[in-house]
Amino acid sequence: QSALTQPASVSGSPGQSITISCTGTSSDIGTYNYVSWFQQYPGKAPKLMIFDVNVRPSGVSDRFSGSKSGNTASLTISGLQAEDEADYYCTSYSGADTLLFGGGTKLTVL
């Protein structure tokens, strides 16, 4: 069970859009539409931002959107705000009742 691959860091200026990628394999992201994205501030518990590839839980800003193409899932944040600066993690169901996490991406708002 190898972790999903995310860029270590991304950055953007306020108002811009950024995209965080999450690359897996045909055994996980490529097969299942069970990709989630979590936001985590330092010292805080993670928060669910996207599930089932592109579904936003109630209360999550529509500036956050998810997509998937082949073995890669993506999280896009539009209209970047200072409060978006955090760590972001992707997950994917990988069959046989197991779950993989990505290594995490640190988003810096310039």
Partner 1 sequence: QRQLMESGGGVVQPGRSLRLSCAASGFPITRAGMHWVRQAPGKGLLWVAGMDYEGGSKKYYADFAKGRVTISRDASKNTVYLEMNSLRVEDTALYYCARDGNFFSFDEWGQGTMVTVSS
Q: How far is CA 95 from CA 27, 30, 38, in A?
A: 7, 11, 20
Stretch near partner 1 under the rule CB under 8 A, chosen from 13-21, 22-30, 70-78, 100-108: 100-108
Asked whether position 82 contacts partner 1 by CB under 8 A, the answer is no
Stretch near partner 1 under the rule CB under 8 A, chosen from 14-22, 40-48, 62-70, 71-79: 40-48
105-109 and 9-12: which strand pairing? parallel
Name the burial class of residue 5, with classes exposed (0-12), middle (13-18) and buried (19+) by CB atoms within 10 angstroms of its CB. Answer: middle
Asked whether position 95 contacts partner 1 by CB under 8 A, the answer is no
Please say which residue, 71 or 92, places its beta carbon nearer to partner 1.
Answer: 92
Asked whether position 93 contacts partner 1 by CB under 8 A, the answer is yes
